[in-house]
Amino acid sequence: MSASSDHPVRLQGLVKIYTQGARQIRALHQVDLTVRSGEFVAIMGASGSGKSTLLHAIAGLTDVNEGKVIVAGQDLASFSDAALTRFRRKQVGMVFQAFNLIPSLTAEENIQLPAMELPDVKTRAEAILQRLGLLDRRHHRPDALSGGEQQRVAIGRALMMEPAIVLADEPTGSLDSRTGQELCQVLRDLVTREGRTTVMVTHEPRVAMWADRVVVFKDGRCLSEFPVTPNAGAEAVALAYEHALQSAA
């Protein structure tokens, strides 16, 4: 097994600096992280801790000032803008907090979006709709779907190209707690049944508890990480998170 298939995500010495006027903000500070194949990693941290920036860096949505981002064995810095887009389309599935569906397309068309040029697009989309329980909602536009359904459509879109990695940015942030838990179950199933590598950003312990490993972020640094046992509840995760923060302090 090659290193790239063992570790779909490898981050080495990542530094990201934002400039606001004369002020420089260090969003990521020498971050190293490796995600194993088929692993479900939750990145936890408070607002402004740099967790979303980290996710954007993995997706190639933002350039880093220093360090290397290697996804599916490819150094993202070596890509041109167009090549990076093509790479992202094939290898990275993304799920956003605000669903970010195209309002003028139906649920099925939204799912098909990254793969519309493929000849088997319809078959693929149908299988995903079936898997996510959305077959009866396939012809509805996003405004006719509930929040949970919209996020499932977004997950379907992320899975359409059979990506090496799925990135989820606060996927339950716009959902009520029950729907949020249902959605976490969907993500968990993807990892357990299909071995889909998933990196999720969240600040909620009850969402992070579905992961295999939690990485704690603060002030752009990776403070620590802890494994999550299969039956660990939200409280256990919350305690471990608090402990990680206090240890660093």
Partner 1 sequence: MRTILRLSWAHVREHPLRLSLTSMATAAAAAMVIWVVSGYDALLKTFDEYANLALGRYELSVAPISHFSQVAPGVIPAPAQKDVPEAAVALLRSDPAVRVADPMWALQIAVAHAEPSAVAGRRGELPGTVVGTGADAAPFDLVEGRWIEMSDGLKEEGVLSLAAAEAAGVRVGDELVLGSGKLQQRLRVVGLVSSPDVSGWSASVAKSQTMTPAVGGLFVSTKLLEQASGQSSRISFIGVGLKEGADLTPFRFQWSPRLSALATPCQFQEAHDIEEALDESASAENLEFQGHMAAAVSMLAAFFIILSTLNMGVTERIRQLAILRAVALTRAQTALLVVVEALLLGAVGYIVGCTSGWLLMKAAVATAPGLLEDGAVVGSFSLVLAAVCAFGGALLASAWPALRAMRVRPLDAMGKLAEPAPRGIRPVWLGAGLLLISVYPLMARVLPHGDEEPFVVYLLVGLSCLAVGVVLCSPAFVHLVDRSLSPLLAGILRIPPRLLVSQISSNLSRTLATAVALSVGLGLLIGIHVWGAHHAGRISPRELGTGCNDRLPPWRLGARSSRAGQCLEGHHPGPARGGGAAPAQGRSHPQRAARHRGAPGQRGHRRGGCGTRLWRERAAVQVPVGSRKC
Q: How far is the CB of 99 from partner 1 (least distance, A)?
A: 10
Q: How far is the CB of 235 from partner 1 (least distance, A)?
A: 31
Binding status of residue 96 toward partner 1 by CB under 8 A: yes
Out of 15, 17, 105, 127, name the contact with partner 1 by CB under 8 A: 105
Q: How far is the CB of 94 from partner 1 (least distance, A)?
A: 6
30 neighbors 15 (Cβ within 8 angstroms): yes
Out of 9, 11, 51, 52, name the contact with partner 1 by CB under 8 A: 52
111 neighbors 140 (Cβ within 8 angstroms): no
Residue 108 token pair? 């099925």
How many residues touch partner 1 (CB under 8 A)? 27
User: Which position has the token pair 């981050």?
Assistant: 11
What residues from 75 to 94 belong to the interface with partner 1 (CB under 8 A)? Answer: 81-82, 85-86, 88-89, 94
Burial of 157 (0-12, 13-18, 19+ CB in 10 A): buried
Stretch that binds partner 1, among 28-36, 52-60, 144-152, 216-224 (CB under 8 A): 52-60
52 neighbors 201 (Cβ within 8 angstroms): yes
Q: Under DSSP, is residue 190 helix (H, G, I), strand (E, B) or coil?
A: helix
Edge-to-edge strands, sheet with 221-227: 92-95, 165-169, 197-202, 40-45, 213-218, 221-227
Q: Residues 132-171 vs partner 1: string with x where CB under 8 A?
A: -------------------------xx----------x--
Q: Under DSSP, is residue 83 helix (H, G, I), strand (E, B) or coil?
A: helix
Residue 211 token pair? 């992961």
Nearer to partner 1, 41 or 94 (CB): 94
Could you tell me whether strands 165-169 and 23-35 are parallel, antiparallel, or unpaired per DSSP bridges? Answer: unpaired
Element of type H or E holding 232: none
Out of 2, 19, 20, 104, name the contact with partner 1 by CB under 8 A: 104
Binding status of residue 109 toward partner 1 by CB under 8 A: yes
Nearer to partner 1, 109 or 149 (CB): 109
Rule CB under 8 A: which residues touch partner 1? 52, 56, 59, 61-62, 81-82, 85-86, 88-89, 94, 96, 100-105, 109, 113-114, 116-117, 157-158, 169
